Amino acid sequence: MKIAIIAHDKKKDDMARFVTAYQHIFKLHQLFATGTTGLRIQNETGLPITRFQSGPLGGDQQIGAMIANNEMDLVIFFRDPLTAQPHEPDVSALIRLCDVYSVPLATNMGSAEVLVRGLMNGDMDWRKIVKKEEE
């Protein structure tokens, strides 16, 4: 599965801990991330990650493009709901595209736990069928 990992600055510590805790699962999948989040995760876990631009420089939109092309299976996006982001429209657009394409999205650690455990149990296998139908 292709998984996008994104965290706003105040949530990057949480994301680093989360990916480290579940690296036995993440290492079985293809990881993508916005620039700064990806670098941090790469440095802390050693997992291979395709990194896009930093979020404010277009990284959210690059991940959004993958969603629109049905190339992303799961998005884990630890948003900071207490800090205004200069690229808030990009953040909203990414979340909107997840809803448009029914791509599972976790915006906090509580829901991310459920999705990653679901991934481990094969609950996300329906994505393979969706992708085959598109071919």
Ligand X SMILES: O=C(CO)COP(=O)(O)O
Residues forming contacts to ligand X in the complex (CB under 6 A) are 6, 8, 34-37, 54-56, 59-60, 91
Q: Is 50 marked as binding a ligand?
A: no
The contacts of residue 53 (CB under 8 Å, 6+ apart) are 34, 35, 59, 62
Residue 34 CB, nearest distance to ligand X (Å)? 3
Rank residues 86 and 110 by Cβ distance to ligand X and give the closer one: 86
Active site residue 60: yes
Residue nearest to ligand X (CB): 55
Q: How many CA atoms lie within 13 A of 36 on its CB side?
A: 12
Residue 127 has phi, psi (to 5 degrees) of -60, -35
Q: Is 24 marked as binding a ligand?
A: no
Residue 66 CB, nearest distance to ligand X (Å)? 14
Q: How many CA atoms lie within 13 A of 52 on its CB side?
A: 19
Binding-site residues from annotation for substrate: 8, 12, 34-37, 54-55, 87
The catalytic site residues sit at: 60
